[in-house]
Structure 1
Amino acid sequence: MDFFETIMFPFKWLVSFIMVGFHEGLSGIGMPAADGWTWTLAIIGLVLVIRAALIPVFVKQINAQRRMRLLQPDLKNLQDKYKGKTDPLSRQAMAQEQMAIYKKHGTNPFSACLPLLIQTPFFFALFQVLAGIGTNAREGQGVGAMSHEQVVQFDQSSIFGAPLSASFLHGTGGDQVAVTVLTILMILAMTAAQFITQKQIMARNVSEEAAESPFMQQQKVLLYILPIVFGVGGIIFPIGVLIYWTVSNFWTMVQQFFVIGREPGHGSVEGRGGGA
């Protein structure tokens, strides 16, 4: 077991354990154990558990984004102060003053990325679990907390004719047209959700000064880069992973809509003319 596998091992067990728990519960109320919709709901249950646990972190992210907007005038003044100065002492002084500004406002550029960073190992753990379904089904092995029987059930399950363990590039039986269509639809859905989420962030910063800030320039880059990421990832990841990704993006969109609406100062000068 290599270093990466060692790190991911507990995440794989936790992810598969939550999925199995939902699957067993759904099977217990009469849903077919090998049905694709039973496993799809188990994946959605995994999203709900992980994202619900991240709500406090998400609220901190929103507050961090708000503080980042508030400190943009100070950063702009700092950039103007050191404009054209490229000597080492000036660059060091600028970096120190920049850190002092972040400390004054109680935030840093990485705070807004915290929920994504925390969720990343769970996402890759799910990918590893689902990517190994076919091999483990053939070799008579389980995956994480999933027994061999459950692995076989998942391997044989599908929705709309598309196997949950299949991907656009690596079909595992079933209707490849269904896999292609479902993959494209979910890529479009998750991209739309992410686009709306980014627009929600940007709509709160409509002043000319805010629009030209480094924070907002970063958001603009993400607005157009993330669809490319989703497109590339979408053709690689299994259908089951795309379900997780799509549901998670919609959760983020809806959650941010409600949190922004309740945010103190929403609709004030810094968000004048904006909306959620």
Structure 2
Amino acid sequence: MDIQRIIIWAGLAVVSYLMVLAWNEDYHVNRPVQDQQVTQAIPEQSSEIGSPVGDEFSAPDADTAVTQNGQSGTDEATQGQVVSGGGKIEVVTDLLAVDISQLGGHLVSARLLEYDQTLNGDDPLPLLRNDNRMTYVLESSLVGPDGPDGRGDGGPARYRSAASRYQLDDGQDQLVVDLELENDTGAAITKRYIFSRNSYQIEVRYLVDNTSESVWRGNFSGKIVRDQSPDPTAQDSFGIQSFLGLVLNTPEDPYEKYDFSDLQDKSLNLTVNGGWIAFLQHYFLTAWVPGLDQTHRYQTTRRGDLQVMGFVSPTTQVQPGERGELGAKLYIGPKIIDRLENVAPNMDRTVDFGWLFFISYPLFLILEWFYGIVGNWGVAIILLTVVVKLAFFKLSATSYRSMANMRRVTPQIQRLREQYGDDRQKMSQEMMALYKKEKINPLGGCLPILVQMPVFIALYWCLFESVQLRHAPFMLWIQDLSVMDPYFVLPILMGASMFLQMSLNPTPPDPIQARVMKLMPLIFTVFFLWFPAGLVLYWLVNNILSIAQQWVITHQIENGPKKPAKT
């Protein structure tokens, strides 16, 4: 009879496993991956993405704006072949491959060369793009009285370049790309992009040589322009969704988030000293960082179906016969704390470790340190689990002693139930007297679980938010620790380990509670099916270590002298 029951349960388990695999294949499909190639350049005659006639943003008030005078920069004419029309200029560094439109001189495409678009693909991940799949570009403009992008008489500014492609060569630490303004504005204007090796930061500068007889006035404006399409890098994860939207940093509020619904309800118009503005998605971001010692106006608006988010800097004045320079820096890349700390104050907070960040961040530092030693994130998670287990070793030992003692006195509890089964109050009194006599804390087994739950939640955020674990392999079939186990092997092993651990615990006296405890491994297995594989690996290893510790303690108490156990 027992053999028949085992066969039936085994058959049901196999059928259930196959059904879950089939359901996952049919209904739990990842979002279609977008082609990283820009298939459609910005039309030369279009003002949809290029700076519109006039500027959408207003500059800080004239009486409060900070003015500048400068004589820096260079206006040497760029020699060589001129790229005409509304074409694009490709720039390739060791980390980035970007396209700059000659219409407006905007960044219309950016590919991250260190990150693949898909797990098994070789195509670089596209972050910025402007095609029939997504509009996500970074604009920079000169607006104001004499700015070529805000005059309204010739449309967007047009630039020419000495070459159609630039590349950061080996041994070269910096790459300068100059664009010369074609429009006649009464001043010679050069738009300069400065790229650096091993950096996702880009300097954007305007060099103004005022050859006229009047004062030149203009404002630098940086914009993030994006449609409301979903996050292409979002991971399917149970319960937690990555933030997609705008983040604004101000001295009063260093980290204020606005999603698309917030921006639709109300447009922003803030005058701020310093600050920065960024657009976040899972693992990656783009950000504009203007001068920290100036007062800027941060604003949002709509351009058709596009959301425009950006800033306008104070007015810069360049006297006749003098040269001036104005600009800002931007960041296009992954959310890596060490890099973001060097970009701007508080930008490292875009790596959102949740409300338990004070636990998540130390866990990440330990995890990163182990990875630096072993070179495998899965092994690093295992070592981190050992460290966490050691940290709670004494607390767990106290709990397991309590449960072992509870298991030891289970026959006595059963006799009390039989003796006082109809008198629950008397039975409770006798059971409490037994616990007191044997020095047993019936709630002692719950404490380690309650204490470790914040660690578990913090580790969830740590693994969910760390771009380092994106496409990070472990071994065998686990080739991406940031997503679920494709064959559910780890969750099933975790459930089996939990069942084994439950068998070491005393049977609860309440029949309903006993049945619930028997169902817990199954419930947790289903719950963990779509958790990131790295998190399930942590829980599995933690269960194995707990089973070993609990078995040793239970064996010692049950086979040792029958005396009250120390708690």
Interval of TM-score (by shorter of Structure 1 and Structure 2): 0.5 to 0.7
User: What's the TM-score, normalizing by structure 1?
Assistant: 0.62
2:536 maps to 1:242: yes
Aligned to 1:130: 463
Report the CA distance between 1:265 and its aligned residue.
4.2
User: Which amino acid in structure 2 is aligned with residue 103 of structure 1?
Assistant: K
- C-alpha change, 1:161 and 1:217, in structure 2 (3 Å) is closer
Unaligned runs of 5+ in 2: 1-254, 256-353, 563-567
Aligned to 1:18: 363
Distance in 2 between residues matched to 1:185 and 1:12, nearest whole Å: 30
Aligned to 1:152: 467
Aligned to 2:378: 40
User: What SS does the corresponding residue of 2:395 show, helix, strand or coil?
Assistant: helix
Contact 1:12 1:122 in 2 (8 A): no
2:452 maps to 1:119: yes
Aligned to 2:298: none
- C-alpha change, 1:13 and 1:56, in structure 2 (3 Å) is same
Distance in 2 between residues matched to 1:58 and 1:161, nearest whole Å: 30
Distance in 2 between residues matched to 1:60 and 1:30, nearest whole Å: 33
Contact 2:483 2:532 in 1 (8 A): yes
Aligned to 2:391: 53
Report the CA distance between 1:64 and its aligned residue.
0.9
Distance in 1 between residues matched to 2:374 and 2:522, nearest whole Å: 40
Give aligned-pair identity as a percent.
28
Between structures 1 and 2, the one with greater helix share: 1
User: What SS does the corresponding residue of 1:254 show, helix, strand or coil?
Assistant: helix
Contact 2:478 2:533 in 1 (8 A): no
Between structures 1 and 2, the one with greater strand share: 2
Which residues of 2 match residues 1-276 of structure 1 at below 5 A? Answer: 9=355, 11-27=356-372, 29=373, 31=375, 37=376, 39-85=377-423, 91-131=424-464, 133=465, 151-159=466-474, 160=477, 162-167=479-484, 179-181=485-487, 184-201=488-505, 214=509, 222=517, 224-261=518-555, 263-266=556-559
Distance in 2 between residues matched to 1:21 and 1:72, nearest whole Å: 42
Q: CA RMSD in A?
A: 3.3
Distance in 2 between residues matched to 1:94 and 1:104, nearest whole Å: 15
Report the CA distance between 1:152 and its aligned residue.
2.6
Report the CA distance between 1:246 and its aligned residue.
1.2
Report the CA distance between 1:22 and its aligned residue.
3.5
Report the CA distance between 1:81 and its aligned residue.
4.2
User: Which amino acid in structure 1 is aligned with residue 398 of structure 2?
Assistant: K
User: What SS does the corresponding residue of 1:214 show, helix, strand or coil?
Assistant: coil
Residues 79-137 of structure 1 deviation map (CA, whole Å, 9 limit, x = unaligned):
3443334xxxxx44543443333222222322122222221111122223333x2xxxx
- C-alpha change, 1:266 and 1:180, in structure 2 (3 Å) is same
Report the CA distance between 1:247 and its aligned residue.
1.0
User: What's the TM-score, normalizing by structure 2?
Assistant: 0.33
Higher relative contact order (CA 8 A, sep 6+): 1
Contact 2:402 2:440 in 1 (8 A): yes
Report the CA distance between 1:217 and its aligned residue.
8.8
Distance in 2 between residues matched to 1:225 and 1:115, nearest whole Å: 20
User: Which amino acid in structure 1 is aligned with residue 495 of structure 2?
Assistant: T
